[in-house]
Amino acid sequence: MPMSEEHKAALAQGRRESRAIKSYLQALGSRRPGRPVTAESVQKRISAIDERIAAETDPLKQLDLRQEKIDAEETLKEVEAKQDIEELEAGFIEVAKSYSERKGISYTAWRQVGVPASVLKQAGVPRTRKI
C-alpha cells in the first residue's frame, strides 16, 4: 500500500528536524569552555609565531616554533571549516519544540546534554511536560 502524502511529509519533517537537532548538539559538544577560538585569534597567533621564528637563532627552538605554527594552521582550518553555531542554534530553535513533543524529550533531558536554558526558552520548550 503506497504512503499517503501526509505520511511522506511527516517523514520528511522528522528527517529535517533530526538533522537540525543532531547538528546543533554536535556543535555544542565540540565547543570548549572558556574563550572561544576564532579565525582572527588564530591568525594573530600565527603572525606572532612567524615573528618569533624570524628572531630565533637556536635551531631546536626554531624547530619547535615551526611545529607550533603547523599546529596553529591546522586549528585555523578547523575553525574556518566549522559551521556557524548561531546558524545551527537558529535551526534548533525552529524545530526543538516539535521534536520534543514528537519524541517525548523533556526540558531536563535537553539541559543535561548541554542545551542552554535561554535557547530552550526561545524554542518554546516548556520546563514541565504535560502528562
Mean pLDDT of the 17-42 span: 79
Secondary structure (3-state) at 62:
helix
**Whole-angstrom Cα distance, residue 4 to residue 12?**
12
Q: Convert the pLDDT of each residue in 100-117 to its tens digit.
A: 999 999 999 999 998 999
> 131 pLDDT exceeds 70?
no
At residue 60, the pLDDT reads 96
Write out pLDDT tens, residues 70-96: 999 998 887 776 657 788 899 999 999
pTM: 0.59
